Amino acid sequence: MFTVDVKRRTVLRAAAAGGVGAGLAATGVAAPAGADRRTGTDGPARRPRIAVLLFDGVTPIDAIGPYEVLCRVPGASMLTVGKRTGPVRSDNGVLTLGVDHTLRDVRWADVLLVPGGNVRGVQADPAMIGWIQQLHRRTTWTVSVCTGALVLGTAGLLRGLRATTYWGVQTQLAQFGATFVPHRFVESGRIITAAGMSAGIDMALHLAAKLADDRIAQALQLTVQYDPQPPFDTGSPDKAGPELQRLALELLNPGGR
Amino acid sequence: MFTVDVKRRTVLRAAAAGGVGAGLAATGVAAPAGADRRTGTDGPARRPRIAVLLFDGVTPIDAIGPYEVLCRVPGASMLTVGKRTGPVRSDNGVLTLGVDHTLRDVRWADVLLVPGGNVRGVQADPAMIGWIQQLHRRTTWTVSVCTGALVLGTAGLLRGLRATTYWGVQTQLAQFGATFVPHRFVESGRIITAAGMSAGIDMALHLAAKLADDRIAQALQLTVQYDPQPPFDTGSPDKAGPELQRLALELLNPGGR
């Protein structure tokens, strides 16, 4: 768990105001693992607690992209949550990510992040869907990346909303009463859905500005050195065209998309 | 481990040639975990074995960004390698990534990927540095992301080369006899170094084109839907300016950079 103590937050506020000096080395940065942010002196909006749902079949970058941005929002604490603690396997089986907290242990969050991947198991699991519905009642922001939007849809959270998802499953949003919008991310009330995989980074910078302010979000963009210069320009279905679309889906190893 | 069987590769070759049909559902996609690519019928250049070094202190996106692209290169197998199997903690302690193979178990790879993060422990570990030097003798490509370049430098692999690294530590490259170049990624012989964190995605698309071809790399860009549209334009130190640079380093929670 990552938290930032009050003294450090004072430094960061000074930094945001343009007057930062050195000073960081002199301040305590990380609170002990397991620290409860509710014991802090700040309200929820100032020390956001961010819950990231992990599950077997997750696409790691859907979680990791936003994580790298959001875990560095001043005061943020971030929790990985799943059916049980321990490792979950990625969509293609290569990687494992660790879950530190069970659904039962995490009953509220300011931000709920639902990544995508092979989400059929999550969609079919009443305990996970129920947990999402319960957390969503109290979140400030409920966000998804990639096919995580299909999970939010299954939980009934997208009815009547504009939303986005992975380009390869965009037609599936309609079954949840949502209107697909081909944007990088879509904010509808307190729900933000991001497009596929890497789009989570763009969405997280937008969300960081909401949780903190524009200057913090701009600094976080530099922290993760997000100055994209891909060697090709085929990252959206329109730019890629039908032949590359077919090849891209072949390469995806579709299990749950 | 992710591998693609020969039948599927035939489909992919057809796809690359523009003639793909459905067919994917009928083919076996994933080989059993632990399958040895050396038993395949293709040579190394066609079925690249990619070793990703993981360690306590790793910055997850440095590994995960390239992973999402490279694990989908046709025929690629990908292995997570570390001092011991089991979880390693990320630089800020929030996340764990799983290691499936020990250094001793992995004696060769076509591609060695060294991510960054708090790399001091790796730099100070003769077993890890020795393993990198040994693997590098037989790799086709040895690549780093972010402060992973400092690890390659410690291993003596950057002497006399142009290279890049995380913007916040760029002056440290000189001590390894390397010349810092402020590019998104830098190819010097068979070593490719990427700039900070998210730059690994750009580098991986470049590498995918080398391992397969441009069309596969272009399709992979769409697979990971990498059509970046950050809400700000402050992702490089030049674009951000000195004040945001200071704030960005504050937010980084510097442990090893």
Per-residue confidence (pLDDT) for residue B175, from 0 to 100: 97
* Same domain for A247 and A160: no
Asked if residue A114 is part of any domain, the answer here is: yes
Nearest to B221 among A15, A232, A250 (CB): A232
| Same domain flag for B151 and B240 | no
Report H helices in chain B.
Answer: 6-16, 60-70, 120-123, 126-136, 148-154, 199-211, 214-223, 237-251
Query: Which residues, including other chains, have CB under 8 Å from residue A62's CB and lie 6 or more apart?
Result: A115, A116, A117, A145, A146, A148, A197, A200
In a domain, B98, yes or no: yes
pLDDT-derived band at B46 (thresholds 50, 70, 90) equals confident
pLDDT at A46: 72
Strands A162-163 and A179-180: parallel
User: Is residue A181 a part of any domain in this protein?
Assistant: yes
So what's the pLDDT on residue B108?
98
Residue B25: is its pLDDT beyond 80?
no
Of the ranges A85-94, A116-125, B11-20, B56-65, which one carries the lowest mean pLDDT score? B11-20
Predicted confidence (pLDDT) at residue B9 exceeds the cutoff of 60: no
Of the candidates B236, B50, B43, the residue with the CA atom closest to the CA atom of residue B143: B50
Residue B217 lies in a domain: yes
Q: What's this model's pTM, rounded to 2 decimal places? A: 0.83
| CATH assignment of the domain containing A75 | 3.40.50.880
Write the residue in B2, B226, B251 that is nearest to A92 by C-beta: B2
Q: Is B27 on the interface with A (CB under 8 A)?
A: no
B242 and B141, same structural domain? no
What is the pLDDT, as a whole number, of residue A17?
33
**Higher pLDDT among residues B38 and A128, named by residue:** A128
Residues B61, B76: one domain? yes
**In the prediction, which pLDDT does B137 show?**
98
Query: Would residue A131 count as lying in a domain?
Result: yes
What average pLDDT does this structure show over A33-48? 46
Nearest to B192 by CA among B150, B154, B142, B157: B142
Contact (Cβ atoms closer than 8 angstroms) between residue B253 and residue B245: no
Task: Indicate whether B2 belongs to any domain.
Answer: no
Domains identified in chain A, total number = 2
Record the tokens describing residue A84, joined without a space: 């049980």
Neighbours of B86 (CB within 10 A): 13
What pLDDT score does A7 carry? Answer: 31
Whether the complex's predicted ipTM surpasses the cut of 0.90: no
pLDDT average, residue stretch B237-251:
97
Which 8-state DSSP code applies to residue A32?
Answer: P
Alpha helices in chain A (DSSP H): 6-16, 60-70, 120-123, 126-136, 148-154, 199-211, 214-223, 237-251
Residues B102 and B186 in one domain: yes
A25 has pLDDT over 70: no
Asked whether residue A21 is domain-assigned, the answer is no
> Is A238 a member of any domain?
yes
A161 shares its domain with A235 = no
Nearest Cα neighbor of A168 from A45, A257, A52 is A257
pLDDT of A256:
40
pLDDT of residue A125 exceeding 90: yes
Q: CA–CA separation, A151 vs A116, rounded Å?
A: 8
The single residue of B53, B146, B186, B191 carrying the catalytic annotation is: B146
In this structure, are residues B248 and B92 in contact, taking their beta carbons and an 8 Å threshold? no
The reply to whether A197 touches chain B by the CB within 8 Å rule is yes
Calculate the average pLDDT of chain B.
85
Per-residue pLDDT at B251 exceeds 70: yes
Q: With 70 as the cut, is the pLDDT of residue B44 above it?
A: no
CB atoms A94 and B80 under 8 Å = yes
Chain B within 8 Å of A22 (Cβ-Cβ)?
no
| Residues B170, B238 within the same domain | no
C-alpha to C-alpha distance for B149 and B153, rounded to whole angstroms: 6
Residue-wise pLDDT tens digits, B93-116: 999 999 999 999 999 999 999 999
According to the model, what pLDDT value does residue A39 have? 33
Confidence of residue B142 (pLDDT cuts 50, 70, 90): very high
Dihedral sign for Cα atoms in the order A8, A14, A20, A21? negative
Residues B220 and B255 in one domain: no
Q: What are the tens digits of pLDDT across the range A180-204?
A: 999 999 999 999 999 999 999 999 9
Note whether B57 and B114 are within 8 A (CB).
Answer: no
Do B236 and B133 share a structural domain? no
Q: How large is the average pLDDT for residues B161-176?
A: 98
Interval A106-117: pLDDT, tens: 999 999 999 999
pLDDT of residue A11: 33
End-to-end CA distance of chain A: 31
Residue A16 has pLDDT above 80, yes or no: no
Domain that holds residue B107: 35-226
Instruction: Return the SS3 of B123.
Output: helix
- Same domain for A156 and A255, yes or no, is no
> Over 60: is that where the pLDDT of B21 sits?
no
Q: Which of residues 170 through 189 in chain A touch B, CB cutoff 8 A?
A: 184
Residues A200 and A254 reside in one and the same domain: no
Residues of chain A found within 8 Å of residue B231, distances taken between Cβ atoms? 202, 205-206, 209, 217
**Residue B253: pLDDT band by 50, 70, 90 thresholds?**
confident
B139 and B189 belong to one structural domain: yes
B43 SS3 class: coil
Assign B7 a pLDDT band (cuts: 50, 70, 90). very low
Report the residue of chain B nearest A215, measured CA to CA: B244
Mean pLDDT of B58-82: 97
A24 has pLDDT over 90? no
State pLDDT tens for residues B198-243.
Answer: 999 999 999 999 999 999 999 999 999 999 999 999 999 999 999 9
Q: Is A71 a catalytic residue?
A: no
- Please indicate whether, in this complex, the C-beta atoms of B222 and A215 are within 8 angstroms of each other: no
| Nearest partner of A75 among A17, A142, A9, judged by Cα | A9
B58 touches chain A (CB under 8 A): no
